[in-house]
Structures are given as structure tokens and as C-alpha cells.
Structure 1
Amino acid sequence: MKQSIVLTLGLACGTFLNVNAHVPAEKGAALSVSQQIPLDSIQLSDPCILADKATHTYYMTGTGGMMWTSKDLKYWEGPKKVAEIDPQSWMGSKPAIWAAELHQYQGKYYYFATFTNPAVIIDEVKGNKIERRACQVLVSDQAAGPYRPFGDATYLPANQPTLDGTFWIDKDGKPYMVYCGEWLQNWNGTIEKIRLKSDLSGTIGKGKILFRASDSPWSKEKNEKGEIVPNKVTDGPWLFRTKTGKLGMLWTSWVYNVYTQGVAYSKSGTLDGPWIQEKEPITPPNFGHSMLFQTFEGQWLMSVHSHYVDSQGRYIRVPHLFKVNLDGDKLKVEGEYKTK
């Protein structure tokens, strides 16, 4: 489904629904910004929350190019348009925006997101026409945006569909983007890294595969012969370190038709791995695409979206928060976080 960065987006794409308005705005209508929205009344895929100390405000983004803000994680204001693009770029005039993340780095704020231009087909594999899709970085001087293009015209190869780019500073002190190579083209999704320029305005060199979807011991599906095989999907990488210094990566795939999240740990403590996959998922079924942040009180939280199909066949995705413990050698999920 096509999405616009300036209009209310379709529910099937997992964007948002302001329940105070009861129905999403019609295409072409102005955005309705509401206040005091409970977190569980927002429909949003891939929620990412930045706790900005400068403004003592939480900023939430995700799929759709919009933003919500909160002072307490319980009530939110939004949505507001924050992503601006160059319509003359490879993205076109109305790209879909997926899995936007906010990262603060060297005095600026960066918007890592996946952009899709449905008007450009870059490949066709097994009958699937693959649209031009890639991770790109926008920048702003403030957390609230707006976020605008500022660097290289492209960050990743035009002939490779990539998604869910995230940010990491590795032990070498250099910035990297970690992202997914989409399974629709390679039929075995990848997690890859590429070095970023020092100001994040572009990439350096070529991407390197860190692991593949088939490396997972827990994800699975049935192939055309009915055989149980590893699932093809890699989704939503997020890097973290435990208190002991161990490097971990959250990522999501599927167990048959159940959206499921796992974790891997780097044996070397760097992005180069090798990456050792945990045998079991770490969150309940139908939760995934997570990230981690600390509240202003110091509590580590995991932001995820729940995933289910309603009676009309629509994907419904709602942000949830889980408490996590990073004190040991591995991340532990301690149950859902309830805002006061």
C-alpha cells in the first residue's frame, strides 16, 4: 500500500490511529493533532522512542514519517509531520516511510528511516516486482525536527532493497549503519553493516553481511513442499551493550504466522561477530521490532509493537513497553512496563 509523508496513512501499513478522532483522516485532509492520547490508543509500527534530556521530552517515531511527544510515556501528543524529502531525489514525491529511528550524535539529531519509491522497480524475483527501497539519514538541530536531507544522494546500492537501518558506534570509535537486506530479493534476509562518514552524511565502502535469516534456530516457516525450514525474514535490528560490555542485537522474524523477536550476541564484542543466536525468542508471541531506551529516571525499557490481524483482515500494531535488565551478561525482559 502506498503511503504519503504528508497525509494520514493506511491502517494496514501499521501507521497510526488517533482514537479521539474515531476514524483516520481522509486522503487529502489536514492532519489532526491531539493531546493526552494514551499509548495503547496509538496504532504504530516499529515504535522508536528518544528520551531527549535537553527538553526532558520523549519523542516517538516509527513507520509513517510522523512523531508523537510525551512528558511521562503515558499520554502523548501528535501526530506531527517531521520528515521532509527532496521530491527530485530517488525517493520521488510521495515515498513510503518505514521504521524511522531518532539518534542524537555530536550535537545534532538524526532520522534513520527506510524510504520506498513505488514508481521505480529495481528487480523482479520469483514473480515479485521489487520497488526501489533503501535506508537514508535525515538531520535536524532539534529533536522535534523537522528532519531534512543533508548528505549523499544515496547511502546504499540502488539495485538492492534495504530496510530498517539503525545506528551504532563500534569499538573502533567509528559510526556504522546496521540494516537488513530484504528477503524479497535474496530469499534469505540478511543483517549487514556499512561504515558511515564521521558526520553521518553518507557511507564509506561496501556493506558486509553479519548474519542471515537462516542462522536463526527459532524462526521457521513451511516451504512449498510443506517442509519446515528457517524463515526468510530479517527485520528491525537494534544494537545494545550489557553492563558487562557484551554486544547484543535484537532482531525480528516469524515463527510460521507469528511475529517473533530474538536476540544474538557478538562473540568478539564488535559488529564483525561472529554472531551467536539465542535458541529461544525473548518476548511473548506477536511482539517485535524493538529498540531500547532509558527513562529519565534510569529505567531501561524496550519499545515494541504488538501484531495481530483484526476481523477485517487488517494488521493492527500498537506500541508497548517492556522493562529490561542489562545488569548481567545478557538482556533480560522483566515484563510489561505500566506507566503511572
Structure 2
Amino acid sequence: MFRNLFVFVLFTICITGFSYGRQASRSISVHDPVMIRQRDTYYIFCTGMGIRKWSSKDLKNWKAEKPVFDTPPKWAVNMVPDFKGHIWAPDISFYKGLYYLYYSVSQFGKNTSAIGLATNTTLNSEDPGYKWVDHGEIIHSEPVRDNWNAIDPNFITDKKGKPYIAFGSFWGGLKLVALADDGKHLSSQSPGMETIAGRKKNANDPNPIEAPFIFKKGRWFYLFASIDYCCRGPESTYKIIVGRAKDLKGPYLDKTGADLRTGGGTVLQAGNENWYGVGHNAVCSSDGKDYLIYHGYDAKDKGSPKLIIKVLTWKNGWPVSDEQYNK
């Protein structure tokens, strides 16, 4: 994701300033949220020191839980200069009997970035078996060598159950690469990366796109992404776009038939009088409903990033976001 000093200060103030175990209202401060349900409890993981974690029984009242990591992963400290444990854009999935938590670390303003993985048998911190096991790096990017950014991971399987990871921000756009069957390494048989979305028209364009999230519904794969600029207070232009494809690798097209690799994308959510900008979404299915989870910069609270949850309905094969659920 796009970063600068202002982003770092904003995240530090908004995301680290709470005590664990506190019951919170609907308007919790989060950035880059992803959600999953285990039994009767919903869990949100989001950007922050050690990866922030929240839990809720009703999707409205949230409890701040202890972060995933007590100390920064050693491999990340060695890889990313000045890394102190502020971890970006986690992604949570249940796969092969384990909860897979992919996460990203990055040097501000550079594509010195990496995606790691931690697993757990349960998300309930009171369960005796609760323990995060870190598996280290999955993939990393380097300046000069790579024109892509190993950040904002999203785990997805194809129609045959083969695992992949989508990722990327700015630079060369959003990428997709195959994982080994255990989901803990890149596939040794991978033909390479697929570019699945981008906005770059020429070499000088900044390509403001990030945060891929692929959701399978019926016979379609839906690629959600965030475009334009986050974290700029009243000047934020962040918004969510979507395209769809019959094959996981694409091509992903919007409602007009435009290819997301060349600037296409149907806008699903954008800023308004209540939100300066909105983005970095995930989708979670539970009890027959699909929920759209993302953050917005609250126009009534100095642009603080807040949790937004909406119910997704589907019309003519396309997602439609309903009224905010967690008011």
C-alpha cells in the first residue's frame, strides 16, 4: 500500500491506542480489515503493531484482543530496514484444517517488501491450543530488481482447489502466483506471475491500485481492488472497484467489458459526505449472507479510519452493497 510519514503517524495514533479486552462500539478504528467466523464469533485482523485483532458476537460490538505477534518476526527484522513490528494488510483463511494468516512487511515508500505466513489451529485465544506458528517468508520484492510490490496478500483457490496468492500495490499492479499445495511456499511448478489488474497508462504513471481480494461466487471469480489514494485526510480519493472472470487467472472485466489490467473496474464504493475515501476491502460469507468489510476515513472524526461492514447482495451477476450494517 502507498505509504509516507503521514500514514505512519496516522496508523500509530489510530490503531495502537487501545487496551486489550476493551469492549468497543461499532465505530472501531481499523485499517485494512479482513474478517472470518469461527463458531459463534467473528474475528477481524488488521494493520497494526503485531497485527491487530478484534472479536465480536454480533458484528457490531467489538472486543480488542491481544495482537498476533508479541515481538516482530525475526526474519522480517532481518529483511526490512528499520522494521519495528508494524505489520500491514493481513489476510485470514481456513485451509487444510488450519487458519492461515498471511501478512506483509514493508519499508515506507519502497517496494522493499515481503509477505509472511502464520498458522493456528483456532482463533479463540482462550482455547488451550491457541498458538500462532510463524512460517516466515512466502515471497519478497526488491527495488531495481522487481517492478512489483510484495504486499497486501490474499489467499484463494481455483476451481480445482489449487492455492494461489494475489498481492500488489502501485508499481507493476496486482499479481497472482501459485502456491505449493500446503500453502506455505510458492509452487515449484509455477509458470510465473500473472498480472491481474493495473491502471498504468505510461511509464510515468504512479499506478494507484492495491489490495486485491478475490471472492468466488457461483461460476465467477470476483476481483475487488482499491484505487486512487488513501490516508490523506479530506484529500483521500480511495475507492473500491470490482471485475469478474470465469477463470481465476482472468482476464477480469468490469460491467462495460473493460479489462482491469488496463484501467478497467466498476466502482462499488467511493467517498461521500460521511467518508473522505473508502477502501481495502475483504468479503466474508456467513449464514447465507455475504459481507463487505473495509475501512473509511471518517469525515466527522478528522479522517480517522473506521470499520465499515455492509451486506452484499447480487444483481445480474454483480455485487451491490447495501446500507451500512454496523451502524
Q: TM-score, normalised by structure 1?
A: 0.74
Could you say which residue in structure 2 is the equivalent of 1:276? 253
The answer (yes or no) to whether the contact 1:178–1:193 under 8 Å persists in 2 is yes
C-alpha distance in 2, partners of 1:87/1:338? Answer: 33
Summarize deviations over 1:162-214 as a string: whole Å, max 9, x none. 2111010012321000111x32xx3xx41111111111111123322122223
Give the aligned residue type for 1:94: K
Structure 1 counterpart SS, 2:151: strand
Matched, 1:141 2:132: no
Give the aligned residue type for 1:141: T
The answer (yes or no) to whether the contact 1:166–1:179 under 8 Å persists in 2 is yes
Give the aligned residue type for 2:226: T
The answer (yes or no) to whether the contact 1:231–1:253 under 8 Å persists in 2 is no
Could you say which residue in structure 2 is the equivalent of 1:67? 53
Cα distance, 1:66 vs structure 2? 1.4
Instruction: Please list every run of 5 or more consecutive structure 2 residues that lacks an aligned counterpart in the other structure.
Output: 125-129, 230-234, 256-264, 272-276
The one of 176, 182, 186 aligned to 1:199: 182
C-alpha distance in 2, partners of 1:59/1:257? Answer: 27
Cα distance, 1:315 vs structure 2? 5.0
The one of 150, 153, 158 aligned to 1:165: 153
Distance 1:153 1:274, change over 3 A: closer
The answer (yes or no) to whether the contact 2:311–2:325 under 8 Å persists in 1 is yes
The one of 125, 139, 151 aligned to 1:155: 139
C-alpha distance in 1, partners of 2:4/2:297? Answer: 20
Matched, 1:57 2:41: yes
Cα distance, 1:272 vs structure 2? 1.9
Whichever structure has more strand as a proportion of its residues is 1
Could you say which residue in structure 1 is the equivalent of 2:214? 239
Structure 2 counterpart SS, 1:164: coil
How many residue pairs get aligned? The number is 286
The answer (yes or no) to whether the contact 1:242–1:326 under 8 Å persists in 2 is no
Could you say which residue in structure 1 is the equivalent of 2:26? 39
Structure 2 counterpart SS, 1:213: coil
Matched, 1:177 2:159: no
Distance 1:282 1:88, change over 3 A: closer
Could you say which residue in structure 1 is the equivalent of 2:127? none
C-alpha distance in 1, partners of 2:300/2:12? Answer: 12
Could you say which residue in structure 2 is the equivalent of 1:97? 87
Give the aligned residue type for 2:304: I
Cα distance, 1:102 vs structure 2? 1.2
The answer (yes or no) to whether the contact 1:94–1:117 under 8 Å persists in 2 is no
Question: Identity rate of aligned residues, in percent?
Answer: 18
Summarize deviations over 1:207-252 as a string: whole Å, max 9, x none. 221222238xxxxxxx99xxxxx76112111111334x22111111
The answer (yes or no) to whether the contact 1:85–1:148 under 8 Å persists in 2 is no
Cα distance, 1:105 vs structure 2? 0.7
Structure 1 counterpart SS, 2:200: helix
Summarize deviations over 1:12-33 as a string: whole Å, max 9, x none. 1277458xxxxx37xxxxxx21
C-alpha distance in 1, partners of 2:319/2:206? Answer: 24
Distance 1:106 1:299, change over 3 A: same
C-alpha distance in 2, partners of 1:84/1:109? Answer: 19
Summarize deviations over 1:26-62 as a string: whole Å, max 9, x none. xxxxxx213321120x211111111113xx2111111
Structure 1 counterpart SS, 2:10: helix
The answer (yes or no) to whether the contact 2:42–2:59 under 8 Å persists in 1 is yes
The one of 298, 313, 317 aligned to 2:305: 317
The answer (yes or no) to whether the contact 1:11–1:316 under 8 Å persists in 2 is no
C-alpha distance in 2, partners of 1:294/1:90? Answer: 32
- Structural RMSD (CA): 3.2
C-alpha distance in 1, partners of 2:138/2:214? Answer: 23
Larger deviation, residues 300-309 vs 232-241:
300-309
Structure 1 counterpart SS, 2:249: coil
Instruction: Please list every run of 5 or more consecutive structure 1 residues that lacks an aligned counterpart in the other structure.
Output: 4-8, 19-23, 26-31, 119-127, 216-222, 225-229
Could you say which residue in structure 2 is the equivalent of 1:290? 281
Matched, 1:77 2:57: no
C-alpha distance in 1, partners of 2:46/2:38? Answer: 16
Distance 1:310 1:270, change over 3 A: same
C-alpha distance in 1, partners of 2:113/2:77? Answer: 8
